[in-house]
Amino acid sequence: MLSLTVTLLVIALIAAVLGFGGISAAAAGIAKVVFFIFIVAFLVSLVMGRRRPR
């Protein structure tokens, strides 16, 4: 999921350099959403991993 975020950020940067403002903003927005979903999933898995009995 983190690689998807990095890919979308690269696409956004390339689109911004080439002058495609709408595509750049959309790709950056999607990358931001995917990144926050990744952070939430990471925190949930971190908490659930600590609850496992030894």
Tokens 């956004």 -> residue? 12
Domain ranges of the chain: 2-50
52, pLDDT greater than 70? no
Does 2 score more than 80 pLDDT?
no
pLDDT by residue (tens digit) across 6-49? Answer: 888 888 888 888 888 787 888 888 888 888 998 998 898 888 88
